[in-house]
Amino acid sequence: MHFISEQRLDDGVLEREFTLGEIPGILWTPVSAPASAPVPLILLGHPPLGLRRMYPRLVARALDSAADGFATATIELPGSGDRPRWPVVEQARSDLRRAMEAGDPVNDEIVDALILPLAVPEWQAALDALLLLPEIGGPVGYSGGVISIGIRLAVVEPRICAAVLFAGSFVPRAMFEQARQVTIPLHVLLQWDDEGNDRQAALDLFDAFGSEEKSLHAHLGGHTGVPQFAGDAAARFFTRHLM
Amino acid sequence: MHFISEQRLDDGVLEREFTLGEIPGILWTPVSAPASAPVPLILLGHPPLGLRRMYPRLVARALDSAADGFATATIELPGSGDRPRWPVVEQARSDLRRAMEAGDPVNDEIVDALILPLAVPEWQAALDALLLLPEIGGPVGYSGGVISIGIRLAVVEPRICAAVLFAGSFVPRAMFEQARQVTIPLHVLLQWDDEGNDRQAALDLFDAFGSEEKSLHAHLGGHTGVPQFAGDAAARFFTRHLM
């Protein structure tokens, strides 16, 4: 892991861009934390639209998390952003974007099928590297988009202790079997009036999770309109489980 | 409204039993509040099992609310507790209790049909009396059980500005039309694994509410096992809307 840039944001948060092999990523740490007290980490998931495009929403989540005492990190997904493009993912992504903008049903099965098998080990490699930094301890949470990646990580990565999942994208049926194997505490967000989403599939998926502590939080506001108070509640979930 | 007893609870809360005509009730107010600053009020709904039986859960909610700066009040439902019994309600209630204890589907349509038309004006009369007290101002919230009473009050009582509803009991189909007329902010609690409840009806009801701000919070833990953090989130909902 190589840091390639560093800037101190107004809110007392250090933002560092890094590369891990060919994978670009960003790490945010609260600068107020004493070096002697490593902080817990939240991995920030996001849809495969490129880190640059997702930056405004990611940095907002990072700043909120830093205020609660968490480090956060994210990496570029395979085939996204400045990483080498794959024509087939490219096509699937532009279909996805068009569908989301038109409010049509979103089917990112192709994206999932191609990206998921690569993305999960990349997230794990990033976690290996991040946990070697002296300022970062455990435990680790996963928060955010591409719910199949969140589910798969929750199943295969024992260092992830709690997850906030966003039930806002297509879930391949094969993912239901994985969901039954999830046992960590889950806080699941669903946008009730998200027309590009299959609400019943999201409810079925929530039902399938094997976790003893799972809660579903449904709000209005459309696909990207998760209310601020819902973000605050998700933050409290992490504080409860990771602090 | 006549106060018939008064005691100061350990937590700096004044508990006063009262009668309003033949209706018994309890009022809890934070004693730390200066007389010059009337506090907002939350009406505590509950199932028709009698105030005495419900007291432990009610006082816990009252103490939490007082810590957030709210007064709370509750009244005995018609035909419940020490109020004159009605044989037909009595029978329906014992069926209801048996069903709840056995984890069977709960059908309290009869209770609703008999109690609702009386209970709603009684809650309104209690509200009239409570808002005359100098230590109580507005705004007013409704929180809790017998969801049909909460829905009906939300429709007919303009002084109620926000409601926490517990989707934990049978909802007559006629109530769906009422739900569409509700426009105040709603925070709806659903126990996902409540076997005595019709989950699909609860989801349909949530969908029917006409409110621009409504959120659904589903948890595990069975009918009476709403987790503490869910109660805290409901409290923050009231703070957001009534403070």
Interface subset of A 173-192, CB within 8 angstroms of B: 192
Position B217 scores a pLDDT of: 97
pLDDT value, residue A167: 87
Q: In this structure, what token pair is assigned to residue B41?
A: 């009020």
Question: Would you state the pLDDT for residue B100?
Answer: 67
Q: Which tokens is A172 given?
A: 């391949």
Residue A42: its pLDDT value, please?
98
Contact: A230, B215; criterion CB under 8 Å = yes
Residue A34: the pLDDT is 63
**Residue to substitute from B183, B195, B215, interface A, most A β-carbons within 10 A:** B215
In this predicted model, what pLDDT tens digit does every residue of B125-152 receive, in sequence order? Answer: 999 999 999 999 989 999 987 788 999 9
Cis-peptide, bond into residue B139, ω within 30° of zero? yes
pLDDT at B104 > cutoff 80: no
Confidence of residue B34 (pLDDT cuts 50, 70, 90): low
- Cβ separation of B215 and A206 shorter than 8 Å? no
Residue window 12-31, chain B: list those with CB within 8 Å of chain A: none
Domains of chain B, each with CATH number or no CATH: 2-242 (3.40.50.1820)
Q: What pLDDT score was predicted for residue A153?
A: 95
Per-residue tens of pLDDT for chain A, all 243 residues: 999 999 999 888 999 999 999 999 999 999 876 666 899 999 999 988 899 999 999 999 999 999 999 999 999 998 888 898 877 777 777 777 777 677 666 665 666 677 788 899 999 999 999 999 999 998 999 998 778 899 999 999 999 999 999 987 667 777 899 999 999 999 999 999 987 778 998 999 999 999 999 999 999 999 888 999 999 999 999 999 999
Q: Per-residue pLDDT for B85 more than 90?
A: no
* Sign of the torsion formed by the C-alpha atoms of B58, B59, B64 and B67: positive
Q: pLDDT for B183-198, tens place per residue?
A: 999 999 999 998 777 8
Q: Write the pLDDT tens digit of every residue in B200-234.
A: 989 999 999 999 999 999 999 998 889 999 999 99
Q: Provide DSSP, chain A.
A: -EEEEEEEETTTEEEEEEEETTEEEEEEEETTS-TTSPEEEEEEE--SS-HHHHHHHHHHHHHHHHHTT-EEEEEPPTTSTTSPP-HHHHHHHHHHHHHHHHTPPP--HHHHHHHHHHHHHHHHHHHHHHTTSTTEEEEEEEEES-HHHHHHHHHH-TTEEEEEEE--S---THHHHHHHT--S-EEEEEETT-TTS-HHHHHHHHHH---SSEEEEEE-S-TT---HHHHHHHHHHHHHHH-
CB pairs under 8 A between A and B: 51
Chain A residue with minimum CA distance to B241: A229
Residue A106: per-residue pLDDT: 60
The pLDDT assigned to B105 comes to 63
- Per the CB < 8 A criterion, the answer to whether B72 and B41 are in contact is yes
Residue B33: what pLDDT? 60
Residue B160 has pLDDT above 80, yes or no: yes
Q: Which amino acid is at A129?
A: A
Do residues A75 and A58 touch, judged by C-beta distance below 8 A?
Answer: no
Instruction: Note whether B217 contacts A: Cβ–Cβ < 8 A.
Output: yes
pTM beyond 0.90:
no
Quick one: pLDDT at residue B121?
95
pLDDT in tens, B228-239: 999 999 999 999
pLDDT at residue B40 greater than cutoff 70: yes
